[in-house]
Structure 1
């Protein structure tokens, strides 16, 4: 049986950063790598909004990335 364990959570804030010479939108991504994995999505989103309020750039997205470890555990083993 395969067991999954949440190991790390990363928060990414994506901000608008103008347009390039061709008129394509440009973005800046701020990453926070030391997020406690057990933090709920609601709490993480609220924190992202508070961080975004401290900047002059417009926030366009909030991403959460979770890394899991997959391990094999034999049936009946503890």
Structure 2
């Protein structure tokens, strides 16, 4: 029977940089690797809020990306 296990977690913060000359939104991201695999959503949210205070642009989104290996 196959089993899945969490290999790595990344955290991506998306910042809103306003609009370009064609009135399309501009977003830039900052990705953090080696995030603790057992971190809760609340812990990650609090960390992202603290990090976002260091930027002048507003935080638009937070994404958690988990890499999962599936083996027999």
TM-score calculated relative to the size of structure 2: 0.94
Unaligned 5+ residue runs, structure 1? 73-78
| Structure 2: 5+ residue stretches without partners | none
Runs of at least 4 residues off by over 6 Å: none
Measure the CA separation in 1 of the matches of 2:42 and 2:6: 18
Aligned length: 72
2:9 alignment partner in structure 1 = 9
Q: TM-score scaled by structure 1? A: 0.87
Q: Larger C-alpha radius of gyration, 1 or 2? A: 1
